[in-house]
Every structure is written in C-alpha cells, then in structure tokens.
Amino acid sequence: MNLPLFQKIIKDFQIRPLPSLTQRDLKLSFIKDMSLAIVGTRRGGKTYRTFQFINELMQQGVGKENFCRVQFNDHRLRSTAVDHLHIIDEAFYSLYPDKQQKEVVYFIFDEIHRITGWEDYILYLLEDPLHRILLTGSTSKLLKGQIASALRGKNFSMELFPFSFREFIRHYHVEEDTISSQGQSKLRKMLQKYLGQGGFPGLLDLEAHLHIDLLQSYWDTMVLRDIIEAHPKDNIKITSFNHFSQALLSRVSCAMTVRKIMTNMEIAGLSFSPETLYRYLGYLEEAFMLYTIPIHSESEKIRNRNYRKVYAMDWALADAIAPAEGLDIPRKFENMIFIELLRRGYQVSYYLTKKNYEIDFIATNKTGEKTAKHLYQVCYQFSDPGVRERELRGILETASFLNIRDIFVITFNEEETIDMNGFTVKVLPAWKWLIKDAEK
C-alpha cells in the first residue's frame, strides 16, 4: 500500500461536491477523547449521514480540507493490512503539514472494522487531542463485544435505522399536519406508502416494480458481506442458513423458538444442532438484519424458558424475502411500530398475563436513576368489536401488576381515549404517533 494512493483518495473526496440529501434526525456529536461510530444495517444511510455531518461542520466554518475520509469497501483497499493504516495520517499530513497539531482534523472511516486489528490504529489517532474520529459499520460489535472491548471504552456508538416515517414524509415534502382534513388525508396515504415501501433510502423515488428486486439484492449482499465473509472460519452452509433465515422471516411479529425451526428443518431433510442455529441467529442480529425480544421479566430463568418474538430491521425487506405470500399488513404494521420504539431509545419486550394474554410491547426507558415503562398494543384495525376486546383484555392486569400509567393502542386510523378502572388508554393513529415526540 503506497502513500500516493491514500493521497489520491483523500484529495478525490475533498474536491468532490457533497450530495444533496434528506436530513436525518440522528444527532451526532463527539465526546472528548473518544471516537464516534454510526452503526446499523447495510444500506441504511450511514455513509450519507457522514456526508450530512461534514456539511453541518462546514456550515460552522470547518474547511473541507480538514476532513480525511476513507471508504474501506473501495476495491483499491481490499488488500489493506493493519500495518498499512498508519499511511493514512501520513498521507493527510504530507498534503497539509501546517495542520498537524495546530488544527482539528476529522478522520472518517467507513467499514474499517473489516481490517483485523484496526482498533489499535484508532487508539493511536486518539492520542492527538485535535483528532476527531467518525466510524461507520454494519456490525453490532461496535456497540458491544470484541470490537467495543478492544477500543477500551474509547468509542461511543449510535445506531442509525432506515428512514423513520417523519424522515420519509420529509423526503417527499409532506407537512406534519395532523390537524386539517387535507393534512390527515396526506399522512394516511404516506403511511400506506411507508408500510409498503419500508424505510431503506435507496427505494425512495424508485419505481415501485423495482422495489422487491432491490430489497432481495440488499439481503443477498448482507448475507454475503455481513454473514459469510464476516465469519470465514464457520464454513456456513448457505442452503441451511437460507432455510433458517427464511423461517425466521416468516415468523416476523410472531413467537419463535429455535428448536421448533430445527424440527421443521429436520423434516425438510436438513439436520443442524441448536448450537449452530443459535450462532446463525446471533450473526443475523449482529448484522442488524433481525431482532428478537424476550418476555418482560426480572427473572433470567423466566426469560430463557419462554419464547422470543422476532422482528426484521425493515418490514418491506422481510416481506420481499419471506417465503410464500410474505407478510400480511398487520404484521408489517407491528414490525414498523417495534422499529420506531427502538429508534426512540427504548428497551423492548413483550408480556404475558396469568391468563396467557399477550401484550405486544413493554417499552422501558432508563434516564439516570429513573426507569419509565410504557405499554403498547398494536392493532391495525381496532373498530371490530372482537378485535377490540382481544386487544384490551390483558391491559388492566398488566398495567396494574407492572405499575404502568402510559398505555397506548396504536392503530392505522382510529383515535379515542378509554378509561379502564382508573387507567387511561390512549388509542392513537400511527400517522400521528409516528411524528410526535417520544414519551418521557
């Protein structure tokens, strides 16, 4: 790896104009003596968020020549070894020697975690108090695990999800008007579009007939780059892995047990141990492709012996990959609400009453010494009397037992307030709830 190549990469970025992009809501700021990482699913917008961050800093007076940006998915850098990383800052300061130890310099690295041992280089750069380091990656290891440990507490990670509904309507220049009849009508139409299209930025403005093909290509790339290539020693058998992952996707917004899936795989002529399938599940979660949530309980034993519920990073992606007819609207709707709760910073679990009535989500938010809990039921159509009774029947027992006062039923379009023996249930349409500020 030679110095001129990195010089060229640095200069090429600096002379290239930044793209005009829909503003994302994830706020970024550096913490003293720490690198900052944006993590999340592949194709979720991490790279473009760094572009926006650069633009934000430039509007504050930072010159573009103070940015050293390197993408490690660049084909010219495929053979980069950890011993070559020091050439990056050498190349930058050979171009701008007057900036060394005199001006703040921003090092922005996309997917650097693919180079084994890269963490020591970040720690080396952080020794200079004028260095600011921004990383992106499609692995949760930047949040926890080996990578976080190797950075010795010197990294702060933030998760970026695909477009929220608020960002989605911003892209299409639709106002957040929840008052007027016209505004509500537009929001309902946009919510239908969002439910069908999902939040991946690459699908915005793309012709609808291309959506499924593009989403399937996203999934294939995730499997190749974030599963198979990320775990080369595992010798992952792609047929069995695909069968397992499709079985999970077919259960989106539903109960899931690995042993049940394993039994079905054995019936189909595939035989794998639970340990292997649990490892595959871990890889899918690590790559931000799927999430599983436990039952709400302080007892680890109870959490472990009950089923988990499974959700996809993006409901449209799951629909494009799931076998047969894919996902119905109510399940995509529930998945959408789940992702929004994660985006708002909640820890999410489900709950079962003594009568085995399920509460979709207990959303927990910890701020300092205070812990706030919110109860959510998700119901696409709430007007049917039977559906209404089913959705409400476990709320009173759950709210009383867990001492929860913030109770919500999220629907597609219904709105009302229900009194249940002193507990107030707020029934809200998703097109309104999705653009309101998170409950504190």
Domain boundary among 159, 187, 211: 159
Give yes or no for residue 436 having a pLDDT over 90: no
pTM over 0.85: yes
Q: Say if 430 falls within a structural domain.
A: yes
Q: Say if 353 falls within a structural domain.
A: yes
- Mean pLDDT for the stretch of residues 106-121: 91
Q: Say if 372 falls within a structural domain.
A: yes
Q: Say if 123 falls within a structural domain.
A: yes
| pLDDT value of position 1 | 61
Range of the domain at 374: 344-440
Give yes or no for residue 150 having a pLDDT over 80: no
* CATH number where 51 lies: 3.40.50.300
Q: Say if 425 falls within a structural domain.
A: yes
The average confidence (pLDDT) of the chain is 94
Domain boundary among 124, 159, 194: 159
Q: Which residue has the tokens 């931000």?
A: 288
| pLDDT value of position 148 | 63
Domain tally for the chain?
A: 2
- Chain segment 231-244, per-residue pLDDT in tens: 999 999 999 999 99
What are the contacts of 412-419 at 24+ separation with CB within 8 A? Answer: 412/188, 412/191, 412/333, 412/380, 412/381, 413/188, 414/381, 414/382, 414/383, 418/392
| pLDDT value of position 440 | 42
Burial (CB count <10 Å: 0-12, 13-18, 19+), residue 205: exposed
Q: Say if 164 falls within a structural domain.
A: no
- Mean pLDDT for the stretch of residues 241-258: 96
- Does 150 or 384 have the greater pLDDT score? 384
Q: What is the DSSP string of 59-102?
A: HTT--GGGEEEEETTSGGGTT--GGGTHHHHHHHHHH-GGGTTT
- Mean pLDDT for the stretch of residues 161-175: 98
| pLDDT value of position 438 | 52
Q: Which of 127-131, 137-141, 182-186, 253-257 has the lowest mean pLDDT?
A: 137-141
Domain boundary among 134, 159, 184: 159
Q: Say if 440 falls within a structural domain.
A: yes
Q: Say if 200 falls within a structural domain.
A: no
